[in-house]
Amino acid sequence: MEISDLVSLEAIDPHLKASSKKQALQELAEQAAQIVGQPERAIFDVLLERERLGTTGVGQGVAIPHGRLPNLDRLYGFFARLDTPIDFDAIDEQPVDLIFLLLAPESAGADHLKALAKVSRLLRNKPVCDKIRGSDNADAIYALLIEPAASHAA
């Protein structure tokens, strides 16, 4: 599974406007609903439920909110870069400006975990994150996200 299997150019928001974690999740749920054909509220509720279990702010300005939904046909990824970092209750207590949302079918099982691991590895790569932070259009960010894994080697 590659990042390109998860995210499409239409699922990139290079200028997400949000002033809080809840607002960011709401905005992402709205965008995701248009692509996956699921109700915005259902997506938002799944994301909030997951955040109640523990933050998905993984550190270094990155958050990977995720959840499982019935009736999804495959895994979906959505990426947003915030112009202004927000408090996301991240484990390192640093504000978040890069968010990769992952939605999976309820039956995804190991594929959901593999996708989370893939996204996490990608966004732990500081040079990649620095390039994404320096990009302000969806095409450039998409290209950085889907670059072959070899180019992300540390």
- Residues with Cβ within 8 Å of 54's Cβ and at least 6 positions away in sequence, in order, are none
Which tokens in the block code for residue 145? Answer: 């996200």
Which tokens in the block code for residue 72? Answer: 């999804």
pLDDT profile of the chain (154 residues), mean per 10: 90 95 96 93 95 92 94 93 94 95 90 89 93 93 80 45
What does the alpha-carbon distance between residue 7 and residue 77 come to, in Å, rounded to a whole number? 5
Q: pLDDT value at position 150?
A: 41
22 within 8 A of 90, measured Cβ to Cβ: no
CATH number at residue 50: 3.40.930.10
Q: pLDDT value at position 148?
A: 65
Q: How many domains does the chain have?
A: 1
Question: Mind telling me the catalytic residues?
Answer: 66
The residue segments making up the domain with residue 34 are 3-152
Which tokens in the block code for residue 121? Answer: 């590895």
Closest CA to 95 of 17, 20, 1: 20
